[in-house]
Amino acid sequence: MTQISQIDTFGIDHIGIVGAGCAGLCLATHLSASRQKYVTVFDDDAPRPDHVWSFWSGDETCLETARAQSLGSWQNWGIHTHNANAFMRGEHYQYHAVSSSVYEEALRASLERASNTAFYKARVTHLSGESQHINIHTDDQKKHPCTQVFDSATYTAPDDTMLQHFAGFYVRTSAPAFDPQTATLMDFRVSQDKGIHFMYVLPLAPDYALVESTVFSHTPCAVGWYEQQMRSYLHNVLDVEHFNIEKTEWGVIPLAFLSGPEDPKAVGIGLSGQALRASSGYAFAQIHQQVAGISLQEKNPKPSAGASRFERWMDKIFLRVLARMPEKAPDMFLRLAQTLSGDEFAQFMNGHCPWRVRLKVISAMPKAPFLQALV
């Protein structure tokens, strides 16, 4: 892995990117296509646990590599409650899942082959300088001159933020138990004692699936609790008697509008650039759209958020309703799935959707709780 501390490149922009996660690597990949840019990615190289990133995609160029790395893809997806089921089918969009470690390794390998990209293993402590003469300071006491800095690693959530926390189990069953053609986005036929709780199932084969016990609440649960819920779900809802857990994953996602870097010399990207969809926790497709847009802006880039201003307002009200009336969550998500087509649902989840879709979402929601949440 190339490591550098100084670049002497007359007439070439030296771009510093803080963080070698999804957003940082994606932006570096886009910017490295320009011979007039030299890109250095700063990261302390701490181990990153492997987990699944899921996203809706049609034929977007910026998601081409991700689609090629997919663990699986689904044209059908569903939401289930005790009272009803809703199934959607995407005509233009498909739902994809990709391994974070596999995808990041593919991006790293591509960047390491590029002559105008380098990685620097250190933790960024602060920035100095101004305008196009910015210095990145690292914890090895080095100073790195840049013309522009993007930060994908610095973000904060408001106090008392609702969290989406989960544990996922890759399970192999002794007999076919899953429909590989249909992903289960939410199955609420589980205990609601810890908060808004649902199962998320990505069937990778008739006898193999990722099953995640997911909760919206303010406090994560012990790992054993999620496993107990997953076992109960497989046995009581899917009638699975025998299975083995082959791999596990876990995570916590803030369901909030995040604040990016405080230093105005750095441009926030990814979660630091408000790419996260606050109402759902989806960010993967939004990150790719955001960095693709940045790469087209030569000066003073302004990253697009993961949703429009009006959609962000909708998300704010929706999260307020969920926090005040969590018992209404299954019905609200079901109504959304019953009202929208598969492609419309994907468009809304990806953000910046057409107005007709936004209006259909508003019409699908129960009016009284949302009117109460306005005040």
Residues 218 and 314 in one domain: no
Residues 127 and 249 in one domain: no
pLDDT tens digits for range 314-347: 999 999 999 999 999 999 999 999 999 999 999 9
Q: Is pLDDT above 70 for 128?
A: yes
Stretch 98-106: mean pLDDT, rounded? Answer: 96
pLDDT bin (cut points 50, 70, 90) of residue 375 is confident
**Host H or E run for residue 203:** strand 196-205
Q: Is pLDDT above 70 for 1?
A: no
Residues 173 and 105 in one domain: no
pLDDT bin (cut points 50, 70, 90) of residue 300 is confident
Query: Percent of the chain having pLDDT more than 90?
Result: 87
Write down the pLDDT at residue 8.
46
Is 142 a domain residue? Answer: yes
Is 69 a domain residue? Answer: no
Domain count, the chain: 3
Could you tell me which of 244, 162, 150, 151 has the C-alpha nearest to residue 195?
162
What pairs with residue 199 in β-bridges?
187, 213
Residues 141 and 273 in one domain: yes
The whole-model pTM stands at 0.93
Residues 146 and 131 in one domain: yes
The total number of residues written for the chain in this structure: 375
- Pair type for strands 182-187 and 196-205: antiparallel
Whether 182 and 80 have beta carbons less than 8 Å apart is answered as no
CATH number for the domain spanning 107: value is 3.50.50.60
Q: Take residue 169 and report the two structure tokens written for it.
A: 């189990």
Q: Which domain holds residue 249?
A: 162-255
Is 83 a domain residue? Answer: no
Residues 21 and 35 in one domain: yes
Is 299 a domain residue? Answer: no
Residues 125 and 166 in one domain: no
Q: Residue 118 burial (CB < 10 Å; 0-12/13-18/19+)?
A: buried
Residues 319 and 346 in one domain: yes
Is 59 a domain residue? Answer: no
Could you tell me which of 332, 330, 287, 333 has the C-alpha nearest to residue 307?
287
In angstroms, rounded to a whole number, what is the distance separating the alpha carbons of residues 242 and 185?
Answer: 23
Is 302 a domain residue? Answer: no
Q: Is pLDDT above 70 for 9?
A: no
Is 121 a domain residue? Answer: yes
Whether 39 and 15 have beta carbons less than 8 Å apart is answered as yes
Write down the pLDDT at residue 111.
95
